[in-house]
Amino acid sequence: MTYERAVAQPLYYMNQHKTEFWSIPIADLLLQLKTTPQGLSSRDAQNRLELYGSNLLRAKKRTDSLTLFLNQFKSPIIVILLFAAGRSFFLHDSADAIIISLIVFVSGLLGFFQERGANNAVEKLIAIVQTKVQALRDGKQQEVPLEEIIPGDIVILTAGDLVPGDCALVDSRDLFLDEATLTGETYPVEKEVGILAPETPLSQRKNTLFMGTHVVNNRIRPKRC
């Protein structure tokens, strides 16, 4: 089986350095990233992980229980019922007011428990499922969690693999990627090693692999991200 290799440029690194890496020769890019075709050492990788942080988009802050409970009373129907309960109290119809208020409270309580349970289930599922990437560490191909891919990593990709970060292609043959989620292109896009002008539009950067796209052809040689 053949592979693709690419050198990784995760989003957090690109945001800090503002580099059009698709216009830089691979040899110069490796120097900038202080890496080699054999990848990083485990120690260097750990230091970079501490410096740049995890290769993940910032997670949305979890809603606390009180806010989640109060959110159950934001729907128009609930607001109308609360208005009706208040009006009943104002008209001294205490029985109707209490019944309506009780219905609203029980409904909100049920919605709260259901939504909290769903959120907890999703978080547990995410914690169980972990995506791993083949990368060169200490000169050997190893499985590395996607969130631990860092700038300068040499990533090995084969058919079906998810691209773990924006990458510059180091070497490949007959490499095609599905970029539909990024550009809307329905057909696989061919990628090849090369140097492009800095102003090259995203859809024409054929020497670049983008995070979230995936390989659809395995007639390749390794790549580095």
Provide the 10 A C-beta neighbour count for residue 83.
Answer: 11
Helices and strands counted in the chain (H then E): 7, 9
Buried/exposed code over 189-204 (b: 16+ C-beta within 10 A; e: otherwise): bebebeebeeebeeee
| Domain 4-55+131-215 fold | 2.70.150
> What secondary structure letter does DSSP report for 93?
-
pTM for this model (two decimals)? 0.62
Q: Which of 4, 1, 8, 2 is nearest to 39 (CA)?
A: 8
pLDDT at 47: 92
pLDDT at 223: 40
Going from N- to C-terminal start, the domains of the chain cover: 4-55+131-215, 65-128
pLDDT at 16: 47
Which helix (H) or strand (E) segment holds residue 5: the answer is: strand 4-8
CA-to-CA distance for 50 and 170, rounded, in angstroms?
26
pLDDT at 14: 45
Q: What is the three-state SS of 154-215? A: EEEECCCCECCCCEEEEECCCEEEECHHHHCCCCCEEECCCCCCCCCCHHHCCCEECCCCEE
pLDDT string in tens for the chain (225-residue length): 444 555 555 443 444 455 688 888 888 888 888 888 888 999 999 999 888 888 876 656 667 788 888 888 888 888 888 888 888 888 888 888 888 889 889 988 998 888 888 888 877 776 666 788 888 999 888 999 888 888 889 888 888 888 888 888 888 778 888 988 888 878 888 888 888 998 888 888 888 888 888 888 644 333 444
